[in-house]
Structures are given as C-alpha cells and as structure tokens.
C-alpha cells in the first residue's frame, strides 16, 4: 500500500461533501478554515503509507476478544420519565422527532 497521491490539498468542495455526510451544517468561513487545516493534517497522517505492511494483519482492538455474550435475561430498563426528561422534546410519553419524510417523496 502506498501513500495516496494528492495533487492538491483537500478542496473546499470535498470538505463540504464530507461535512454533509457527517451531518454538519458548516459555515462558509469554516469551509475555508477546515480545508486548509485538514489538508495539513492529511499530509501528516498520510505518512502511514511509508510502512512496509505486506502480510501484516490489521489490529482492530488491543484485546483479542470476539463474541462476548451475556445471559439472555430481561433486565429493567431506565425509567421512562427520567429518560424523557433528558430528551429535547417529548410528547405523549414518547420522544418527539422532526419529520423524516418530505412532503412529496
């Protein structure tokens, strides 16, 4: 695996696309700032490409463990009123959410 070649730094448009994927309504000023800063950070982190990693397995976790199970028994949930008290909006004993579908699908 080699270092990805970057003809130029992360563009403003790329940052805007990534911000949209990340659900961040960034401002124009932030786009300018982040494009520059993230370009510098990407140049730095791209150094991982220097490593010789033929036949090296990736480490996802420091402790090698898979499939940790617990007994399948019901446990009490958090009290509804306490959870709803922490929600930004509640109605009829439920969390109220903004609509998820447009007027015309």
Partner 1 sequence: MSELTTTDAAELGRLLTAGEVSSADLTRAYLDRIAADDDAIGAYLHVDAEAALRSAEQVDAARADGGVLGPLAGIPLALKDVVVTEGVPTTSGSKILEGWRPPYDATLAARLKNAGTVLLGKTNMDEFAMGSSTENSAYRVTRNPWDHDRIPGGSSGGSSAAVAGGLAPWAIGTDTGGSIRQPAAVTGLVGHKPTYGSVSRFGLIAFSSSLDQAGPMARTVLDAALLHEAIAGHDPLDSTSINAPVPVLAESARRGAEGDLAGLRVGVVTELGGDGHTEGYEAGVLARFAETVALLESLGAEVRPVSCPAFDLALPAYYLIAPSEASSNLARFDGVRYGLRVGDDGDRDLDEVMALTREQGFGPEVKRRIILGTYALSSGYYDAYYGQAQKVRTLITRDFTTAWEDVDVLVSPTSPTVAWPVGARVDDPIAMYAADLCTLPASLAGIPAISVPCGLSDGLPVGFQVMAPALADDRCYQVAAALEAAQDAARGSRFLDQLPVRSAA
Per residue, the 3-state secondary structure of the chain, as one string, reads: CCCCCCCCCCCHHHHHHHHHHCCCCCCHHHHHHHHHHHHHHHHHHHHHHHCCCCCCCCCCCCCCCCCCCCCCCCCCCCCHHHHHHCCCCEECCEECCCCCCCCCC
- Per CB under 8 A, does 74 bind partner 1? no
| Residue 62: CB minimum distance to partner 1, A | 2
- Per CB under 8 A, does 57 bind partner 1? yes
| Residue 75: CB minimum distance to partner 1, A | 10
**Which 8-state DSSP code applies to residue 86?**
T
Q: Which is nearer to partner 1, 74 or 82 (CB)?
A: 82
Sketch the per residue contact string, 3 through 42, with partner 1: x for CB under 8 A, - otherwise. Answer: xx-----x---xx--xxxxxxxxxx--x--xx--xx-xxx
Q: Which residues bind partner 1 (CB under 8 A)?
A: 1-4, 10, 14-15, 18-27, 30, 33-34, 37-38, 40-42, 44-51, 53, 56-63, 65, 68, 70, 78-79, 82-83, 85-89, 95, 97-102
């Amino acid at each position: 695996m080699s270092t990805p070649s970057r003809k130029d730094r992360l563009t403003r448009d790329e940052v805007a696309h990534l911000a949209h994927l990340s659900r961040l309504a960034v401002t124009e000023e932030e786009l300018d700032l982040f494009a520059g800063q993230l370009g510098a950070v990407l140049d730095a982190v791209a150094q991982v490409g220097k490593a010789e990693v033929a036949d090296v397995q990736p480490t996802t976790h420091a402790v090698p463990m898979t499939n940790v199970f617990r007994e399948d028994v019901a446990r009490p949930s958090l009290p509804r009123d306490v959870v709803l008290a922490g929600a930004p909006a509640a109605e009829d004993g439920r969390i109220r959410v903004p609509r998820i579908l447009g007027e015309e699908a």
